[in-house]
Amino acid sequence: MPLHIVRNDITQMKVDAIVNAANETLLGGGGVDGAIHRAAGPQLLAECRTLDGCRTGEAKITGAYRLPCKYVIHTVGPVWRGGLFGERQKLISCYRTSLSLAEAHQCETVAFPLISSGVYGYPKDKALHIAVDTISDFLTDHEMTVYLVIFDKSAFQIGERLFHSIASYIDDNYAAAHSDGPEEQSSRLLPGRMSRRVQEPHTLYDASPGQDGRPFAASGVSRAFPKKKAAADRPASPLPDALSGPANGFPGAKSASVPPAQSLRDALRQIDESFSEMLLRKIDERGITDVQCYKKANIDRKLFSKIRSDRLYRPSKPTVLAFAIALELPLEETKDMLMKAGFALSHSSRFDIIVEYFISRGNYNIFEINEALFAFDQHLLGA
Ligand code: APR
């Protein structure tokens, strides 16, 4: 997963570089700046003294000393003064210059705090949005794993309106479907009751590729699967209801959720295609590249290569949903893709209901969806 949102203390992160929300003197302070200096030890300050400060929106890099990482990237966020003094651009610049420095130092993993959202008073939901947007933009054409580290509950706020809207959507669907006892069903999701699972230090929520699937089936990455038997060679089998009717050009079909097939041969092929085959077909149908797809899905390249090279790959549910979002599939096609992998959407799962909320509103921004999933203490989409 190229972009994680995790709850942790940034000084505990075992990554190549952590980013410090510093001030222009670079001589330490409170908040995350103070925590990083305390954990790194006095040598960090000694090195910072040689840097001659740093301007707002810029970044400078030092060693990490006693911290469990290689580098500390010090950046200076803007002080919030109402939003009319270029604060947004300066904050975007903090993330961009820090990521460029990390790339220049061959960092593969980087952890950010929510810059300016503490002492500098940047509204937390705006600060979060800028962080997620800027980092995800960078990740569309860079290979890196970035962690957005949230230290305390109050530091993480999605928009109030969005939170309420999702909370009532969950209530409408979850309570009705959830099989728990009455006390569980009466527990409405109220604002502020965002319980957070504290990430054990060092154990980030990490859908590492191994978690999903089987060992890599083949070396290298080729698009073609072993030649399948042509449909005509296949023993005739009765068409399932969904395929025998007008919806797919056959008399009497139910209003099938299977997208209309061009022909009987296509229909038969779609019935027994694997998840991987369906995924590759839909990427082609949408006219996007593989890279565009897995980047939009917040899936890392290595995992996508495994899926592309193993026609029987068994993905996790968050991975399937991440691709459905990247392909901007409507709900019914999302359900078909889930079914291919042996899953179904369930109203007994807050995770599923939140994803359904965004799909039903045509919002396919996976990073916005992940902000909401994090706010409701759910796993994130991607892998
Ligand atoms: N790990 C991760 N995040 C943390 C930690 C930590 N150990 N401690 C604080 N944070 C979070 C805060 O909750 C906030 O969301 O970091 C975010 C940034 O808050 P600040 O540290 O106050 O930084 P900022 O708002 O950018 O203000 C910078 O504060 O500490 C001084 O010297 C610093 O003058 C500078 C100013």
Query: pLDDT tens digits for 153-191?
Result: 777 778 788 888 999 999 888 866 654 444 333 333 333
173 and 86 fall within a common domain: no
- My answer on whether 32 and 150 are in the same domain is yes
| C-alpha 377 to ligand 1 mean position (Å) | 22
Percentage of the chain exceeding pLDDT 90: 67
Asked if residue 364 lies in contact with residue 358, where contact means CB atoms within 8 angstroms, the answer is yes
Question: Total structural domains in the chain?
Answer: 2
What mean pLDDT is predicted for residues 288-306?
Answer: 94
Shared domain for 100 and 169, answered yes or no, is no
* Residue 75, token pair as written in the block: 């950046």
Q: Ligand 1 pocket, 78 CB below 6 A?
A: no
Q: What is the pLDDT of residue 176?
A: 66
pLDDT value for 260: 52
**Ligand 1 within 6 A of CB of 152:** yes
- Residue 122 alpha carbon, nearest atom of ligand 1: 25
- Residues pairing with 6 in the sheet: 149
Tokens 């897995």, located at residue: 294
Q: Are residues 179 and 322 in the same domain?
A: yes
Task: List residues with catalytic annotation.
Answer: 33
| CB of 151 shorter than 6 A to ligand 1 | yes
User: 22 pairs with which residues across the strands?
Assistant: 76
Say if pTM beats, i.e. exceeds, 0.75. yes
Looking from the CA of 219 toward its CB, the CA atoms found within 13 Å total 0
Query: For residue 236, how many other CB atoms are within 10 A of its CB?
Result: 7
Side-chain half-sphere exposure of 49, counting CA atoms within 13 A: 5
Whether residues 188 and 99 share a domain: the answer is no
Same domain, 101 and 165: no
Residues 100 and 164 grouped into a single domain: no
- DSSP class of residue 19 equals E
pLDDT of 270 above 50: yes
Atom number of ligand 1 nearest to Cα 9: 1
By CB atoms closer than 10 A (0-12, 13-18, 19+), residue 82 is exposed
Q: Which of 102-111, 178-187, 300-309 has the lowest mean pLDDT?
A: 178-187
What are the φ and ψ backbone dihedral angles of 273, each rounded to 5 degrees?
A: -75, 150
Q: Is residue 234 part of a domain?
A: no
User: In terms of C-beta density within 10 A (0-12 exposed, 13-18 middle, 19 or more buried), how is residue 344 classed?
Assistant: exposed
The amino acid that residue 356 corresponds to is E
Domain end (from 130, 155, 180)? 155
C-alpha dihedral over 116, 122, 126, 127, to 10 degrees? 10
Cα–Cα distance, 119 to 356 (Å, whole number): 36
Separation of first and last alpha carbons in the chain: 4
Tell me if 201 CB under 6 Å of ligand 1: no
Residue closest by Cα to atom 24 of ligand 1? 116
142 and 181 assigned to the same domain: no
Domain boundary among 98, 132, 155: 155
- CATH number reported for the structural domain that contains residue 79 in this entry: 3.40.220.10
Token representation of residue 115: 């810059």
Residue with tokens 């469990």: 68
Q: How far apart are CA 316 and CA 319, in angstroms?
A: 5
Domain membership of residue 128 as a residue range: 3-155
Q: Are the C-beta atoms of 275 and 262 separated by less than 8 Å?
A: no
**Token pair listed for 165:** 């809207």
Q: What is the pLDDT of residue 84?
A: 96
How many Cβ atoms are within 10 Å of 145's Cβ, its own excluded?
19
Q: Is residue 80 part of a domain?
A: yes
Residues 56 and 175 in one domain: no
In a domain, residue 206? The reply is no
Q: Which residue has the tokens 């009466």?
A: 186
As a whole number, mean pLDDT of residues 242-246 equals 37
102 Cβ contact list (under 8 Å, min separation 6)? 16, 17, 71, 73, 110, 144
Does 231 reside within a domain?
Answer: no
